[in-house]
Amino acid sequence: MESGTAVREPHLLLVEAVLRTSREHADWWAEGGPRPLLPRAWQQLWRDAVLRQMDLAGETEVTARRAVQDMLDQLTRLDREAEWFRADPALRRRAVSETLLFGTRLGPGVPSRPAQVAWFRRRGLRPVDYAKVSAIAAAQDEWLAAWNTWAEAVR
């Protein structure tokens, strides 16, 4: 490795790639044109993040894959639904950091903990259970409200 070359955390590299790809896909859906491609290093990014998750959280591969996917799902949902996440790079970086700290178990007491817990509560409600549609909608609202409260508090 060359001196001065910073080693980036695999989770962060994957988050950046996923958010960029998600935005490209949203633009593609809205505007048409050629379908965006996944980054060339997609499989490597994913594998590195899962291995790092296993190391940091002491999880099995299956559990680590699920944890990484949960973090990515939450962050892409924030990117779609929380204007501050898209508009304020400092808040976005902080939300990403806190999500990763919480998801890797390195920082279970992050200030966004209420939003993190609300995300998992919401994830536990499956949209295929139509008897729980109002509970799913309420959980979604609670999750986004908790993140918005966090964003206002840290500004």
* Residue among 97, 73, 81 nearest 146 (CA): 81
Question: Which residue range forms the structural domain that includes residue 73?
Answer: 10-154
Amino acid in position 110:
V
pTM as predicted: 0.81
Tokens read off for 4: 């001065």
Question: Is residue 4 in a domain?
Answer: no
Question: Is residue 60 in a domain?
Answer: yes
Q: How far is CA 73 from CA 7, 46, 115, in A?
A: 24, 14, 14
Count of domains for the chain = 1
Question: Is residue 120 in a domain?
Answer: yes
Question: Is residue 3 in a domain?
Answer: no
Q: What is the pLDDT of residues 94-127, one digit of tens each?
A: 999 999 999 999 999 999 999 999 998 887 766 5
Question: Is residue 29 in a domain?
Answer: yes
Question: Is residue 71 in a domain?
Answer: yes
36 exposure class (CB count in 10 Å sphere: 0-12, 13-18, 19+)? middle
Q: What is the pLDDT of residues 55-78, one digit of tens each?
A: 999 999 999 999 999 999 999 999
Question: Is residue 5 in a domain?
Answer: no
